[in-house]
Structure 1
Amino acid sequence: MNFSEKDILQIDEKGLSTREVEEQIEIFKRGNIKVNITEAATIGKGISQIDENEKKELISFYDSEKDDHSILKFVPASGAATRMFKALHNFADEFQPEKQGLRAYLDEKGDNDLQRFFNHMEKLPFYDHALERTKKNHPDYDSLSHDEQHKILVKTILESDGLYLSNLPKGLVPFHKYDSHIATAFEEHLIEAAKYISVKGVAKLHFTVSKGDKEKFQGEWKEIRERVEEKTGIKFEIEYSYQDPKTDTIAVDNDFRPFRTEEEDLFFRPGGHGALIENLNQLEEDIVFVKNIDNVVTEDQIQLVVDFKKMLGGKLFRVQKKIFEYLEVLDSGHVTEDKLQEIQSFLNKELFVKETSGDNASEDYLREKLHRPLRVCGMVKNEGEPGGGPFLVKDKKGTISLQIIEGAQIDNENPEQAKTAKEATHFNPVDIVCSLRDHNGKSYDLHRYVDQEMSFIADKTKDGKPLKALERPGLWNGGMAKWNTIFVEVPVETFNPVKTVSDLLKESHQPG
């Protein structure tokens, strides 16, 4: 492909090479590669269901082991709150109280979340502040009709002369209202982390944020630090990182030519959350918990979450210990045939790694399969339509392993694959604990364990023109495809994401 000098300079500024850009364009031409799911991971077939006695044992084991490790909580937090307030933006743009009543508008839209917002908005953590600001900006507020009041209140929540909440990173939106203060998702992550990742009185957290937002998070921490540290009795070490520009990907038009802006520049887009494998790879800690920024609960409901986090951590420590023992035996050069069979059985039964062809009991094979990053993932029982989630997947070499798969990766045009997908019983809530060092204390190079074929092509637009965008293999999908994986069932009560503003009205976000 012929790139101009201007193109080459732009590519170089991204930290990329022309060859890498050409390879990305070849992926567009290749198209999405569907995975080969052999069966859904279910209880007893890939997902462990842990009883109360074993849960207590794992929690106790985690507590006894954790101070011997460096532990960190990794929180992807670059998401803006814009999508969370999308329905309110539409309402502010469309609703004309002089022409249509609120009830008629809501009935026409049929949006249950919007209905819930207007029925219970006084329970939102920022309602009082929004009402106060609205009355300040509109001295005639009390004389307006209820429908007019609703419209200007919503505009106050959204717009720059009001609270401007939709312009905030989601982590800094007020989530929970307590008697003494209002807490953001950022604060709730700190409160939660203090209860299970602190080592010798210190809790370490890492937030991946958008450029321009780091100062906002630091400002929030300055405001709440005294209160949080006094409440928890824990000191916090908080660090931030951005998505590296070199993980951005070229966009192409429908003819697979590089998409160009109106200024004739190449157009690059962020490579999706899968690009955060780079951020994860830079961490020095050996144990890392991963959880999304919007998945938090109020303080009175936190103990259940903490118990299951410790359970997952205890499971990780137990499996890690066994893997390290086996690797030390394999490294010794004195391995009996019985021990090789034992290790192979462990791979099959504990890690669900199976081969459909070739030698799967040699020392080299077993060492290669065990010497990988390890993750233990909480899985929640499906209560809605099955889609993405935990599956047993066969790769091109014939290896079957546990994978987290998105619905878009499944070939639903293939009747057998579609049937298998519908048999899924659980979904992925992004509740993961990772072991990032080997038995010699050396950090894994996480790039080696990414399945690049799990990248994803999506149709987007720019300046009104269609384009194809390339997302790197998802962080917990293809980004961790070659890790060793354990799935454990966790209760749905541990999964409380805030996707729309109305989710803040759910019981899990209302302090008791």
Structure 2
Amino acid sequence: MTNFEDDYSFLDMAVFTQNDLERMAARGTDWERVEEQLENFRSGFPFLKIDRAAVAGDGIMKLDPERAQVLAGLYGRAVAGLEVEKFVPASGAASRMFKELYEYVAEGKGSATVERVLSGIERFAFYEELVALGGDMKDPRAVVAAMVEGDAAAGTGLGLGSRPKGLIKFHRYGDGGRTAMEEHLVEVALYGGNPARIHFTVSPEHMEDFKRLVEEKSAGFAAKYGVEYEVSFSVQEPGTDTVAVNPDNTPFRVGDAGGEGEILFRPGGHGALIENLNRIDADLIFIKTVDNVVPDHLKEDTVLYKKALGEVALELQQQVFLYLKKIDSAGFAAEGDFRKEVWRFVERALCYRFPEGFEPTLEDLRRVLDRPIRVCGMVRNEGEPGGGPFWAETSMGVRGALSLQIAESSQIDPEHRTALMGGGTHFNPVDLVCAVRDFRGRKFDLARFVDKRTGFISEKSKDGRALRAQELPGLWNGAMADWTTVFVEVPISTFAPVKTVADLLRPQHQ
């Protein structure tokens, strides 16, 4: 048994007990993180120091279609010699996607979403499965109940509300419907090289269903697209969950175990997946959310701009490597015109701006160069929710320097939020290409580049009791805050999110 006083003397003994330690050790929780999280609750997270929104010509690169074609061609030749992988953060149960439908079944509460679903019911890719259940298709409430509830295997309903988004049929084809996960398998075959590698993060309870569908479908796609697949999975580890606290910031306890309540831990948000991403060993990693897929007849733009973004990342990385090798071979004595050349590259190409009047040394420039690179697609803002592109003070390197950041509204001081977000023209559709090796060919430790000050605290409740919850720095927000970041405009046709089931009736999903 752990000796509490000897091994954990740094902890507040008035807060934690021997039983707490043993339970947390069993779930893989790092107690230094727990202490850090409790301090975050006490002190709070600062707002980002944002200078201005990034716009075309000032932080966002524009590619005309001809240039995109050239870059895509160059990428197509380079990819044969690279290890490329696609990373898809797949959701748990899609209950939020069907929230209004659940309310309609339970309370008869109608809404515009419910009306759209019922009027367009025959256009869903899962419509044939719904009809095959044999229920009363003229009773709207019964139809909606059959969609969201029941067990498809038992024939009692499709149970879509308890399926993950990745396993819901999004699109209809002549040979049947295709799930979001299948669309990702097709997409990676079109730009990921051969073998086509793809990694899904999934909930443990859905793991076997994902694996089963891959086994059923991958051979057919492999034959059709002339690739071999390497498909892998991981889960968000319990050890990345964050501690919940009472309003007075003491640990929130539930249940009863040995005369004391057990400390409640909650999922830390998608920022926890930086650890999953860190385990992927590849030259380039494409990141895209599970619901942002389109049918085959609309994939052309997606594939073109994925390749173009990949080539932008490779060209930036190649120049970074050349500079780093020269700096390391010549030492910091290589100043003069070379230092000015690197300085221009860092500010113009890598979008890292030193404070006005500050002249960086080669050592300063080297620190900026030697980081993982992400190239992020940005789409014109047409009212969709999502984080925005901004110039913000960086936590890495020289104090007061600016770099590009993806920020959510919650990270912006409310006093300036409206003005800053109102000046934005683009938003983040989660379309990233990541170059994660250093100039010696070694994989970066991505945990070193997280800005831990960019977490988020929210007010929640459990069993009627108020609690405070903490989310880790978001995967494409604070978890990548200290990366080299470049924004490139991509067409809105590459973005087709599915937040509610009615979104599947939009033209880009038909």
Q: Residue 171 in 1 paired to residue 170 in 2?
A: no
Q: Which amino acid letter does the alignment assign opposite residue 433 of structure 1?
A: V
Query: How many angstroms apart in 2 are the aligned matches of 1:388 and 1:175?
Result: 25
Which runs of structure 2 are paired with 1:62-77 in the superposition (5 Å)?
Answer: 62-77=75-90
Query: How many angstroms apart in 1 are the aligned matches of 2:31 and 2:344?
Result: 46
Query: How many angstroms apart in 2 are the aligned matches of 1:5 and 1:413?
Result: 45
Which runs of structure 2 are paired with 1:187-336 in the superposition (5 Å)?
Answer: 187-199=182-194, 202-263=195-256, 264-333=261-330, 335-336=334-335
Which of 65, 74, 78 is residue 91 of structure 2 equivalent to? 78
Contact residue 335 and residue 362 of structure 2 kept, 8 A: no
Query: How many angstroms apart in 1 are the aligned matches of 2:492 and 2:29?
Result: 42
Shift of 1:386: 8.1
* SS of 1:448 mapped into structure 2: helix
Contact residue 89 and residue 288 of structure 2 kept, 8 A: yes
- Structure 1, unpaired ranges of 5+: 96-104, 136-140
TM-score, length-normalised on structure 2? 0.92
| Larger deviation, residues 56-65 vs 487-496 | 56-65
Q: Sort the Cα spacing of 1:359 and 1:442 in 2 relative to 1 into closer, same or farther, 3 A.
A: farther
Contact residue 387 and residue 421 of structure 1 kept, 8 A: no
Query: How many angstroms apart in 1 are the aligned matches of 2:32 and 2:407?
Result: 29
* SS of 2:440 mapped into structure 1: coil
| Identical aligned residues as a percent | 42
Query: How many angstroms apart in 2 are the aligned matches of 1:447 and 1:467?
Result: 28
Aligned to 1:408: 410
Query: How many angstroms apart in 1 are the aligned matches of 2:90 and 2:314?
Result: 27
Shift of 1:273: 0.2
Query: How many angstroms apart in 2 are the aligned matches of 1:418 and 1:130?
Result: 45
Query: How many angstroms apart in 2 are the aligned matches of 1:465 and 1:172?
Result: 34
| Larger deviation, residues 150-159 vs 273-282 | 150-159
Query: How many angstroms apart in 1 are the aligned matches of 2:499 and 2:270?
Result: 17
Q: Sort the Cα spacing of 1:451 and 1:346 in 2 relative to 1 into closer, same or farther, 3 A.
A: same
* SS of 2:105 mapped into structure 1: helix
Contact residue 206 and residue 239 of structure 1 kept, 8 A: yes
Q: Sort the Cα spacing of 1:385 and 1:206 in 2 relative to 1 into closer, same or farther, 3 A.
A: closer
Query: How many angstroms apart in 1 are the aligned matches of 2:293 and 2:394?
Result: 35
TM-score, length-normalised on structure 1? 0.91
Q: Residue 434 in 1 paired to residue 429 in 2?
A: no
Q: Which amino acid letter does the alignment assign opposite residue 280 of structure 1?
A: L
- Structure 2, unpaired ranges of 5+: 1-11, 151-155
**Aligned residue pair count:** 483
Shift of 1:357: 6.6
Shift of 1:168: 0.9
Query: How many angstroms apart in 2 are the aligned matches of 1:173 and 1:122?
Result: 16
Superimposed CA distance per residue, residues 233-281 of structure 1 (whole angstroms, 9 cap, x where no aligned partner): 2110000011122211100010101001132100001110001000011
Query: How many angstroms apart in 1 are the aligned matches of 2:72 and 2:175?
Result: 32
Shift of 1:121: 1.0
Shift of 1:90: 0.6
Aligned to 1:487: 487
Shift of 1:412: 1.7
Q: Sort the Cα spacing of 1:332 and 1:225 in 2 relative to 1 into closer, same or farther, 3 A.
A: same
Shift of 1:406: 0.5
Query: How many angstroms apart in 2 are the aligned matches of 1:500 and 1:198?
Result: 32
Shift of 1:177: 1.3
Superimposed CA distance per residue, residues 442-497 of structure 1 (whole angstroms, 9 cap, x where no aligned partner): 11010110000001111111122111111100000000000001100001110001
RMSD in angstroms over aligned alpha carbons? 1.6
Which runs of structure 2 are paired with 1:33-182 in the superposition (5 Å)?
Answer: 33-95=46-108, 106=110, 111-135=111-135, 141=136, 146=138, 149-160=139-150, 161-182=156-177
Aligned to 1:474: 474
Superimposed CA distance per residue, residues 24-74 of structure 1 (whole angstroms, 9 cap, x where no aligned partner): 111011123111110100000000011223212211111121112100000
| Larger deviation, residues 333-342 vs 450-459 | 333-342
Query: How many angstroms apart in 1 are the aligned matches of 2:277 and 2:30?
Result: 23
Aligned to 1:102: none
Q: Which amino acid letter does the alignment assign opposite residue 182 of structure 2?
A: E
Shift of 1:18: 3.4
Superimposed CA distance per residue, residues 120-158 of structure 1 (whole angstroms, 9 cap, x where no aligned partner): 1111111121122043xxxxx37xxx4xx1111111112
Query: How many angstroms apart in 2 are the aligned matches of 1:358 and 1:216?
Result: 58
Contact residue 170 and residue 509 of structure 2 kept, 8 A: yes
Query: How many angstroms apart in 1 are the aligned matches of 2:391 and 2:158?
Result: 47
Shift of 1:391: 0.1
Q: Which amino acid letter does the alignment assign opposite residue 370 of structure 2?
A: H
Shift of 1:112: 2.8
Aligned to 2:6: none
Q: Which amino acid letter does the alignment assign opposite residue 328 of structure 1?
A: K
Q: Which amino acid letter does the alignment assign opposite residue 360 of structure 2?
A: A
Shift of 1:419: 1.6
Q: Sort the Cα spacing of 1:8 and 1:462 in 2 relative to 1 into closer, same or farther, 3 A.
A: same
Q: Sort the Cα spacing of 1:15 and 1:226 in 2 relative to 1 into closer, same or farther, 3 A.
A: closer
| Larger deviation, residues 476-485 vs 62-71 | 62-71
Q: Residue 501 in 1 paired to residue 501 in 2?
A: yes
